[in-house]
Amino acid sequence: MKKTENFWWFKMAILGIMLRLILMPITLHPDLWGHSFTAYFFSSEGVFNIYEYLLSLPPEHPLVLNFGVSDIFIYPPLTYFTLGLFRILVAPFTDNNFIPWLWSNLDNVYEYQGLYRHLLFYKLPYLFFDIGIAFMLSSLFSDKKQKIKAFAFWMFNPLTIYATFMIGQLDILPTFFVVLSLYFVKKQKPNLAVVSLGIGGAYKLYPLLLLPLAAFYLSGKFLSRFKLILLGLTPFVITILPFLGSSAFRSMVLFSPKSQKMLFMGLNVTAAEVVYPFVLLLFVLYFLVYYQRHRVSLNGLYLAALLLIFSVSHFHPQWFVWASPLLIWFLVKNNFYMWELVAVIFISWLVLTFLFEPSLSFGLFNPLFPKILQAKPLDKILSHYIDVFMVKSIVRSIFAASSFYISLKAIYEKS
């Protein structure tokens, strides 16, 4: 009996994995090709500095001619090396000539006989990080019923399945390390908690915004807090250090427009100066944990900071996977109190997703139905009857209001 009880997660894991394996080979978003193109240069040609290499490609190179390279890869170097390593691991099951062929034959990709197989293996490595999050998320709870609920919610979480195994985006990687940092906090290992955030920031920059929250929460002494921040920044700095001298790296990653989306919203105080709502509210969170660390929840602060990003920026739908584990934590921790507001947030996200470009919604099933992308986008259809941009603005406002209210509750929900 005890042995069976220890494997309470097994059936849910199998069903969740089967669902992912069904969707992985039959869904496709063009972003997967961008990742695959750059990963190819590492796995097959041994390129180290992908940023300079992309800009040095001759104009007649098929990648330059048919796709362009200015924003094809906007992620830190650790992302590039990890994706390249993934491609090496799945190389025995894929055709190494597929990517060079695709550079010149994108319009014929649906006629490629091995397409389903390549989609499956290109997305497969994310599965291990995904399952890891399920176990770490459940470990944040002591009560077995809550453990089961958290595990089940993650394994059947439509946001994660959509972003990771349908679109094929890499957001699961930094999300894994954010949840890992909370796992180490519970295990009372502050150094590993901040290092985890630093590693997450080496995949996408947003976990670095959480670093002061963790440092201020984990220690009450100024010098110790400063050391924790430096320790957390170390993995990020080490991974980008060889590339800091590259102007291509700086323009593509550190100062790219997408890395500054949170600063698009500004309240004018002069003709040339603004107050950034994102910076203002983020520092309110920093001050809150700095002076009231014994009264607040670090999990809740993480959730509040991430919801803040989405509330003041034109976020891409797949980014919302960042907040998914923390929303699950919030629901389970509070026995589904405020589930209505979480539902409002999810529905708002869903509406915005369907009003995005078709490739992020019904167009994902183009491997099965290649002509589906020729269908008229939903926002174009609705624009004949309503002001779509006004609707989207209202939905974003409702999303922000719901996020703000949930954040107030989550911040003071002790972990």
Strands 274-275 and 267-268: antiparallel
**Burial category of 302 from C-beta neighbours within 10 Å (exposed 0-12, middle 13-18, buried 19 and up):** buried
Q: Tell me if 91 sits within 8 A of 43, measured CB to CB.
A: yes
Cα–Cα distance for residue pair 127/154, rounded to 1 Å: 12
Q: What is the CA radius of gyration of the chain?
A: 22
Residue 195 tokens read as 């290092």
Cα–Cα distance for residue pair 230/185, rounded to 1 Å: 17
Spatial CA neighbour of 100 closest among 83, 82, 112: 112
Question: Residue 134: CB partners within 8 Å, gap ≥ 6?
Answer: 9, 13, 16, 151, 154, 155
pTM for this model (two decimals):
0.94
Cα–Cα distance for residue pair 367/123, rounded to 1 Å: 15
Spatial CA neighbour of 331 closest among 183, 154, 206, 142: 154
Helix/strand/coil for 238: helix
Cα–Cα distance for residue pair 230/224, rounded to 1 Å: 10
Enumerate the H helices of 256-338 as residue ranges: 277-291, 298-311, 324-333
Q: Tell me if 375 sits within 8 A of 358, measured CB to CB.
A: yes
Please give the chain's pLDDT, 415 residues, in tens: 455 567 888 999 999 999 999 999 999 998 899 889 999 999 999 999 999 999 899 999 999 888 888 778 889 999 999 999 999 999 999 999 999 999 999 888 988 999 999 999 999 999 999 999 999 999 999 999 999 999 999 999 999 999 999 999 999 999 999 999 999 999 999 999 999 999 999 999 999 999 999 999 999 999 999 999 999 999 999 999 999 988 888 888 888 777 788 888 888 998 889 999 999 999 999 999 999 999 999 999 999 999 999 999 988 899 999 999 999 999 999 999 889 999 999 999 999 999 988 888 888 999 988 888 778 888 888 888 899 999 999 999 999 999 999 999 999 876 4
Question: Residue 215: CB partners within 8 Å, gap ≥ 6?
Answer: 194, 225, 226, 228, 229, 232
Cα–Cα distance for residue pair 101/33, rounded to 1 Å: 12
Break the chain into its structural domains and give their ranges.
2-123, 171-254, 258-415
Phi and psi for 148 in degrees, rounded to 5?
Answer: -65, -45
DSSP β-bridge partners for residue 274: 268
